[in-house]
Amino acid sequence: MKVLVADLHIHTCLSPCATLDMTPRKIVRAARDKGLDIIAVTDHNSAENAGAVMAAAGDAGPSVIPGIEVTTSEEVHILGLFGGVREALAMQDLVYENLQPGENDEDLFGMQVIANEFDEVEGFNKRLLIGATALPIGEVVTAIHRFHGLAVAAHMDREAFSIVGQLGFIPEDLPLDALEVSKGVPLALARARFSRYEDFAFITSSDAHQIGEVGTSPTSFLVAGPDLAELSLAFRGRGNRDVRT
């Protein structure tokens, strides 16, 4: 077992509110500079850049988990973390089928850039990725699990776009795998504030939309390796794996 440092909530230049410096190579370089062992690419309602970040990281690392940040019909943000690009893109297909109609306003939200592993622009996503889907939160979590992923309630301590902020509580029958709190919030403080949810694993991450934010609020895990299966064990406290900070 070893302690590995992870930032499980990073946006690329595909996300409407991310800056154009959030390219695959720059994200990988920033992660290495911050000593991150694991990162997750979780763009708003899309996973199109996840493969490029994985390719940019290569064998040298960090380990890249492909993901997506889904906006549910209740306007709750749920992170889906997956074992491979195929599963992440399958979730993306479901999201695209249920995404709010409309086209991205580049003057208002910025360009939604699809990049390759060399930071070359391959296209632009014109969908309204900043919008909500028609998928209720229960269906989102079920779908993430159907594609063998982990479902994490994003920045659950915020008023906007969080499960507690939007619903007022976490439904008892909602099988979330972990709860994320905003960067800068100590996990001990979060656990005390949300003690009614003590059975869940709590994590922090950067929710990085700018390159300087990558790795600013990582979580340490005691795991055997940098992959999704090990994170799943750590979330559940199984096999001597756990969430450290």
Q: In angstroms, what CA-CA distances link 231 with 6, 63, 157?
A: 10, 12, 22
pLDDT digits (tens, 9 = 90+) for 145-174: 999 999 999 999 999 999 999 999 999 999
- Residues 5-25: pLDDT tens digits? 999 999 999 998 888 899 999
Q: Is the pLDDT of residue 62 over 80?
A: yes
pTM here is 0.97
| Sign of the four-CA dihedral 125, 131, 134, 139 | positive
User: How many structural domains does the chain have?
Assistant: 1
Q: What is the CATH number of the domain that holds 208?
A: 3.20.20.140
- Burial class of residue 33 (count of CB atoms within 10 Å of its CB; 0-12, 13-18, 19+): exposed
Kindly report, residue by residue over 198-207, the tens digit of the pLDDT: 999 999 999 9
Does the pLDDT at position 245 exceed 80?
Answer: no
* Neighbouring C-alpha atoms within 13 Å toward the C-beta of 18: 30
- Selection from 150, 173, 157 nearest residue 79 by Cα: 150
Q: Distances from the Cα of 136 to the Cαs of 72, 101, 131, in angstroms? A: 5, 16, 14
**Residue 180: is its pLDDT beyond 90?**
yes
- What would the pLDDT profile of 113-153 be if each residue is shown by its tens digit? 999 999 999 999 999 999 999 999 999 999 999 999 999 99
- Measured in Å, how far apart are the chain's first and last C-alpha atoms? 16
What tokens does 24 get? 């695959």
Mean pLDDT value across residues 91-95? 98
Q: What secondary structure letter does DSSP report for 102?
A: S
Read off the pLDDT band of 187 (50, 70, 90).
confident
Q: Which domain holds residue 87?
A: 2-243
